[in-house]
Every structure is written in structure tokens, then in C-alpha cells.
Structure 1
Amino acid sequence: MIEPNPKADLRRYLQDAREALLWKLEGLSEYDVRRPLTPTGTNLLGMVKHCAGVELGYFGDTFGRPFFSEEPPSWWYTEDADPNADMWATADESREEIVALYRRAWEHSDRTIETLALDAVGHVPWWPEERRETTLHHLLVRVIADASRHAGHADIVRELIDGAVGWVNGNDSIPPGDQAYWETHRSRLERVAREAGNA
């Protein structure tokens, strides 16, 4: 009989989302990793930067384990920061710097996850006073949902950039087909959408 290990299960899904998000940067130019492809500016490197900040906040500050020993960076979640500063990289912030920060965030988060029990209580400083108290379990679920959501955004953004698709390296999770197949498939969906719109 397999012994249940909820913490290991949660940690595995978190790591899957982390790695999927970083994989979407591979092989792209500096321009393409920063390129805003939605009206609100969604871009690949910005999502990595955001997810690093989310982990450092929820698995660091919330449990009295701050990552920044001195002043946090200018884009950190403070009242003075630009509301979207965590969702894009400045020209001075290199891809290597942001990816390294995300990987260090994983290490910091993983130490918190390994050290504390799932029912350990933390206090989220930026939540309303009446809801600040929460558990590691709750925050793990929340961060997995956030990272997975952004990994899904990254899937779409990457496909818009160069057509690359897939959940993880070596597993594209879609039916096989060459470019002609997908063009035919997309044309069929467009036709069906127009027919339904005119019905």
C-alpha cells in the first residue's frame, strides 16, 4: 500500500509548474522573453519575476523567514512600487539575474516547506487584518495555482512568439501533426466559430 504524503504531492506539482515556466524562456532572444503580447503587457520574463516574488513573499515573509536581509528591490511589493513592477523586467535586469532569483526563491521556499508542518500558521502582512492568519497548506495550494496559471499563460505567449508548444520539455501534450495539419485544424475551428456566430 502506498503511504500518502500530501506535502510531497504538493511540492511536486509546484516544481512542475516552476520548471514549465522557465522552459518557456529557452531558445528565445532578449526581445522575445520581454515582448508584451497582450493588451495588459503579459510577457514571459515578467511572469518569472512575478512568480519569484510570490514565492519569496508567501514562503518567506509570511513565516518570519524573509529572503531579503536588507532593503528589498525597488519592484518589491510595497506601497511605493509601481503596481505592475513585478510583471516586467527593466532593460537593466538581465534574464540571467531574474532566472537566478527565481531559482533562489525555490530553494528558500523549499526550506520553509521542508521545515514546517502543513498546519504551521503564518501571517500574510499584505492581506486584510482579519484574514492574515493562514497555514502553509493553504499557501502551498495558492502558490501552485498561481504558478500553474502563469505557466498556462506562458504556453500561449510562447506559441504566439514562435509556435512552440508543450507542457514540459519532451512532452508537448498535443496530438501529433505537422504545420499543414494545424493550419487545417485552425481553419476548421474558425469556420465553425463563424457558423455558430451567424446561427
Structure 2
Amino acid sequence: MPGYAPPVADERTALTAYLAHQRRALRATAHGLTDGQARMAASASELSIGGLIKHAGRCEDFWTDLVLQQQRGLQRKPDETLADVLAAYAEAAERTDAVIAGVGDLGQAVPVPRGVPWFPEEVGEWSVRWVLLHLIEETARHGGHADVIRESIDGATLYPLLAAAEAWPDPWFQPWERSFKTPVSMISGVVGR
């Protein structure tokens, strides 16, 4: 798969293609990590790649529930593996895609939850279009966080990770390969979670 979103013919395809592209980039940051590395807070924050992917999946579930005007409880699972987190993220993405495919009008109203301090009180509803744009923004923001964390763990960057994860032909990028060097985060004394 190329490193960019594919050409698009219409608004719905553009929004879903860009969301899929951002998901792919976020997932790629986890390529080749162990469960322990996926839990590492390898930067100045407490964020980890596994935690960011879990958060992105929960965000998709939350916003998809709003589109459907339903509410589900948050499901926590102790001792999750990276594979568990990636599978849950894939399920959330599939559910979002299925719900969006079933929406006839991207202008459909989505009620703004009340009593949440970061949601504006003066806005009563968003559109499905707004929700998709927000999911793209949220996924891209956390993908950037994950890029920094991954580079702190073992020096890996996005395009070599994508090339390795997707077995790209190799005219431009040397695909990432596991290195058994000491992670930068361990050298600097950052303890992972």
C-alpha cells in the first residue's frame, strides 16, 4: 500500500480514506514491538504506543455510539497484550466504517453530550461529517505522539515501518528491521510502563 491516501471521488470517500490512512500510520508505529515496548513511556510524557492505540479505538467507539445515539459501557481488560489492543482497534475501525457506510447524509445531526467540560455548551449538535473530521484529527494527533515515542524506543520512523509491515518493494525506503540495540529510552533513564 502506498504511503498516502488514495485518490478520492467524493466527500465520503475522502473522509473515510483519510481516516483509514491515519489509522494505518498509527498501527504502523506498533510494528515489531514487544508487549513491554508497547507499554513504554519512552518520552517526557506518560504516553505509550499501546495506550495511544487503545485510546484511539475507544474514541472511535465513543463517537460511533454518538452517531448511533446509543451508549455502551467502557470495557476494561487487565493484562492486555499489544495484539489485544490492535484487535480491539481494528474492531472499532470496522464498526465505525460500517456505521458511516449506513449513514445516508453526512449532514445528519449528532447530539453533543451535555456536562462534558471540553464540549461547548452553546452547540447542540454536530454533523456526522464533523465527527469524521474530528476522528481524522484525533487519530493524526495521536499518530504524531506515537511517532515520537517509537523513535525514542528504537529509532524507527514511519515509512520504514510501513515498508516492513506491508512488505513494500524497496526502491526508496529500507524496511525497518528489528535491532537488538539498547533502546534510547533505557539509555536516558526513562522507565517504561
Instruction: Return the TM-score normalized by structure 2.
Output: 0.71
Structure (1/2) with the larger helix percentage: 1
Do residues 34 (structure 1) and 36 (structure 2) align? no
Cα offsets for 1:53-106 (capped at 9, x unmatched): 11111122343255x4xx4325xxxxxxxxxxxxxxx86122222111111101
User: What does residue 114 of structure 1 align with?
Assistant: 101
Q: Which runs of 4+ in 1 moved over 6 A?
A: none
Q: Is the 8 A contact 1:35 1:43 kept in 2?
A: yes
**1:73 aligned residue (66, 72, 75):** 75
Q: Is the 8 A contact 2:43 2:148 kept in 1?
A: no
Q: Is the 8 A contact 1:62 1:124 kept in 2?
A: no
- Number of aligned pairs? 155
Give 1:113 shift: 1.1
Do residues 124 (structure 1) and 117 (structure 2) align? no
Give 1:129 shift: 4.1
Do residues 61 (structure 1) and 66 (structure 2) align? yes
Change (3 A) 1:3 1:50: closer
Cα offsets for 1:166-190 (capped at 9, x unmatched): 246127xxx879xxxxxxxxxxxxx
Report the Cα distance in structure 2 between the residues aligned to 1:166 and 1:39, rounded to whole angstroms.
Answer: 20
Change (3 A) 1:115 1:35: same
Query: Letter of the aligned partner of 2:138 in structure 1?
Result: D
User: Which secondary structure state, in structure 2, belongs to the residue aligned with residue 60 of structure 1?
Assistant: helix
Query: Letter of the aligned partner of 2:88 in structure 1?
Result: L
Do residues 8 (structure 1) and 8 (structure 2) align? no
Report the Cα distance in structure 2 between the residues aligned to 1:64 and 1:13, rounded to whole angstroms.
Answer: 24
Give 1:26 shift: 1.4
Which is higher, the Rg of structure 1 or of structure 2?
1
Report the Cα distance in structure 2 between the residues aligned to 1:37 and 1:4, rounded to whole angstroms.
Answer: 40
Q: Is the 8 A contact 2:26 2:143 kept in 1?
A: yes
Unaligned segments of structure 1, at least 5 residues: 75-89, 178-199
Q: Is the 8 A contact 2:8 2:14 kept in 1?
A: no
User: Which secondary structure state, in structure 2, belongs to the residue aligned with residue 130 of structure 1?
Assistant: coil
Give 1:3 shift: 8.5
Query: Highest relative contact order (Cα 8 Å, sep 6+), 1 or 2?
Result: 2
Instruction: Return the TM-score normalized by structure 1.
Output: 0.69
Q: Is the 8 A contact 1:63 1:121 kept in 2?
A: no
Query: Letter of the aligned partner of 2:81 in structure 1?
Result: S
User: What does residue 137 of structure 2 align with?
Assistant: 145
